[in-house]
């Protein structure tokens, strides 16, 4: 996974934790119990956090779908060589999620509003990992399809073949930080010539 994706996921996690910390802080100050339009400030806080989390997840999902439609389908569907690391990461996130549920619900015995809210705050990361991991990857007319993102051809710096591995190197900018991404794909011997011809037309155009 690229550093930019890691930073984005960490950012979401930090925002969630900051929201929870803010909730604890205003609860200690007694603000939670003041009412506005029939709801306590504590419940308003939870509603706002819930809406914010929903917006982030929906925006991420919709942006993937829009990019897919805009930049077209895959011409060559390829398997990424480092995909296993992300799958392991996804499995760990799911395990952590269920451990958190177990703790929040005290062994699946408690399911009140506060518990459901806490569960709602921790589900976005495994969900986003899940639907990004199941996205098809490879190369197409619009660019390189990678972990739900489309890397346009003008961002691709170079590519190289080594054995059964095609490595695509591109540049990216996230949160104001420039980085170089190396994406290793596994290719079949029979596809190598066609893929190389396709890439020679796209890279450097």
* Residue 68: per-residue pLDDT: 87
Task: Give CA–CA dist 155/171, Å, rounded.
Answer: 6
Give me the pLDDT at residue 84, please.
87
DSSP letter at 155?
G
How far apart are the C-alpha atoms of 183 and 113, rounded to whole Å?
A: 43
Domain positions in the chain: 3-202
Q: Is the pLDDT at 89 greater than 60, yes or no? A: yes
Each residue's pLDDT tens digit, 90-130: 888 888 888 878 887 878 887 777 777 777 777 877 888 88
The pLDDT assigned to 196 comes to: 95
Range 173-197 average pLDDT: 87
pLDDT for 131: 87
Range list of β-strands (E), 16-164: 35-36, 39-40, 74-77, 79-80, 138-140, 143-146, 149-152, 156-162
Provide the percentage of residues in the chain whose pLDDT is more than 70.
Answer: 77
- Residue 79 predicted with pLDDT over 90: yes
DSSP states along 25-67:
HHHHTTGGG-EETTEEHHHHHHHHHHHHHHHHHHHHHHHHHHH
Judged against a pLDDT cut of 70, whether residue 33 lies above it is answered with no
């Amino acid at each position: 996974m690229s550093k930019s994706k890691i930073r984005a996921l960490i950012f979401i996690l930090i925002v969630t934790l900051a929201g929870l910390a803010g909730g604890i802080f205003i609860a200690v100050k007694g603000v939670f119990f003041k009412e506005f339009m029939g709801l306590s400030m504590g419940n308003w806080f939870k509603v706002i956090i819930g809406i914010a989390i929903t917006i982030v997840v929906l925006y991420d999902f919709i942006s993937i779908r829009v990019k897919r439609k805009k930049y077209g389908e895959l011409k060559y569907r390829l398997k990424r060589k480092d995909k296993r690391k992300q799958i392991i990461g996804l499995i760990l996130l799911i395990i952590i999620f269920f451990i958190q549920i177990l703790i929040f619900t005290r062994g699946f015995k408690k399911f009140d509003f506060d518990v459901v809210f806490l569960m709602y705050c921790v589900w976005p990361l495994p969900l986003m990992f899940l639907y990004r991991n199941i996205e098809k990857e490879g190369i197409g007319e619009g660019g390189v399809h990678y972990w739900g993102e489309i890397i346009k051809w003008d961002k691709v710096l170079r590519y190289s073949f080594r054995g059964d591995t095609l490595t695509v190197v591109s540049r990216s900018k996230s949160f104001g930080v420039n980085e170089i991404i190396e994406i290793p794909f596994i290719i079949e011997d029979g596809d190598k010539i066609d893929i190389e011809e396709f890439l020679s037309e796209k890279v450097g155009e």
